[in-house]
Amino acid sequence: MNFALTEQQRMIQQAARDFAQKELAPHAARWDRDEEFPAAAVKKLGELGFLGMNVPETYGGAGFDMVSYVLAMEEISAACASTGVIMSVNNSLVCWPLETYGTEAQKQRFLVPLARGELLGAYCLSEPNAGTDAANQQTTARRDGDHWVLNGMKNFITNGAHADVLIVFAQTDPALKHKGIFAFIVETRSEGFAVISKEKKLGIRASDTAQLAFDGVRVPADQQLGADGAGFRVAMSTLDGGRIGIASQALGIAKAALEAAVAYAKTREQFGQPIAKFQAIQWKIANMATRYEASRLLTLRAAALKDQGEPYGEQAAMAKLFASEAASYIAEEAVQIFGGNGYSKEFPVERHFRDARITSIYEGTSEAQRMVIAGHRLR
């Protein structure tokens, strides 16, 4: 879809590519091996405007469109998928709901520094007993004067161990079910907040994924995000855009795996010729390239619809479903093309293979995306 890109979008894509290849690619394997959070690189991302890409300039952001965000996310994730998800969460799951549902005071206090990269955000919806069943919130919020008091735990929180600001969802009245869920802006310096543990993961190992505890955390009432009982709507609408971010991350992983496989097939020789000469390899490359391009078009379409103010929830689910499953397919085929070398950490496709797997799980599993898509078509 490059033929449809504006000059500005091409410039943003190139800027992201240059940054990714210079600042991320040389270190990605080491960060993955050591499970090292890329703090310096994230700081530079913020300075360049990549952590608040869609936020208006009046609130500290870059003011770019969603298509530009997809292009940048793809380039960043191709170099380091861990950095890609850090960027995605801050943009899609933290800045967007603050811009959409926040008061002017909340935007000035939290959105501006988050968009500038001066603070880092995390999105706290998942719990030990609330994964795909997100309405089953066990974290509670109780009103106490001019504060809310939060108690509970959150699971699998990206950026959780490094975040300064959290978007937290909690249940105020179990009898109201999803209508009793409220959203809150919580500062991690708050008394009673703690990082319980960090997950040991298969992939995206440089991105921290943490279990968080809230033990009597007092949140000022003016840090409630959105209307009373609107927390579940805030959560679900936020995830619609988040799915475009994860589809873009999957695109980046797929791109990196495909490019590595093509380069390797041209240079690796067996039976006296490059393996790219064999039809078995050619057909793999053809299938990989087709799924990558289809994923890219679906993702850009969802982004374009969002930019146009059109409904995009179904298209975001389609993009996330297809791109995530395509990324796993492409990365697996890349490992196969590399043969024994593909199973070694000396070559990048091993990391791409591990990183790809999570994209069809977080921010809504593939099964959940199919439920969303079917719901749109059958209503």
User: What confidence score (pLDDT) does residue 4 get?
Assistant: 84
**What value does the mean pLDDT take over residues 205-223?**
98
In this structure, the answer to whether residues 248 and 362 fall within a common structural domain is: yes
Residue 351 pLDDT class (50, 70, 90 cuts): very high
Residue 232 pLDDT class (50, 70, 90 cuts): very high
Domain boundary among 85, 119, 153: 119
In this structure, the answer to whether residues 94 and 130 fall within a common structural domain is: no
In this structure, the answer to whether residues 110 and 157 fall within a common structural domain is: no
In this structure, the answer to whether residues 59 and 162 fall within a common structural domain is: no
In this structure, the answer to whether residues 275 and 335 fall within a common structural domain is: yes
Averaged pLDDT of the chain = 97
Residue 3 pLDDT class (50, 70, 90 cuts): low
CATH assignment at residue 291: 1.20.140.10
Long-range pairs, 344-349, Cβ under 8 A, ≥24: 345/29, 345/33, 347/260, 348/28, 348/29, 348/256, 348/260, 349/257, 349/260, 349/261
In this structure, the answer to whether residues 362 and 289 fall within a common structural domain is: yes
Is residue 215 pLDDT above 90, yes or no?
Answer: yes
Domain boundary among 119, 144, 169: 119
- 272-329 pLDDT tens trace: 999 999 999 999 999 999 999 999 999 999 999 999 999 999 999 999 999 999 999 9
In this structure, the answer to whether residues 210 and 258 fall within a common structural domain is: no
73 near 117, Cβ under 8 Å? no
In this structure, the answer to whether residues 110 and 196 fall within a common structural domain is: no
Domain boundary among 200, 215, 232: 232
In this structure, the answer to whether residues 111 and 146 fall within a common structural domain is: no
Query: CA–CA separation, 348 vs 341, rounded Å?
Result: 10
Q: Within a 10 A sphere around the Cβ of 347, how many other Cβ atoms?
A: 18
In this structure, the answer to whether residues 100 and 115 fall within a common structural domain is: yes
CATH assignment at residue 150: 2.40.110.10
338 near 214, Cβ under 8 Å? no
In this structure, the answer to whether residues 126 and 191 fall within a common structural domain is: yes
- 55-99 pLDDT tens trace: 999 999 999 999 999 999 999 999 999 999 999 999 999 999 999
Give the percent of the chain with pLDDT over 70: 99
Give the percent of the chain with pLDDT over 90: 98
- 6-31 pLDDT tens trace: 999 999 999 999 999 999 999 999 99
Query: CA–CA separation, 235 vs 230, rounded Å?
Result: 9
In this structure, the answer to whether residues 316 and 356 fall within a common structural domain is: yes
C-alpha dist (Å) from residue 245 to 8, 49, 350: 20, 16, 23
Residue 367 pLDDT class (50, 70, 90 cuts): very high
Active-site residues, by number, are 363
How many domains are contained in the chain?
3
Provide the residue range defining the domain that includes 38: 2-119
Residue 2 pLDDT class (50, 70, 90 cuts): low
- 169-186 pLDDT tens trace: 999 999 999 999 999 999
**What value does the mean pLDDT take over residues 330-338?**
98
64 near 54, Cβ under 8 Å? yes
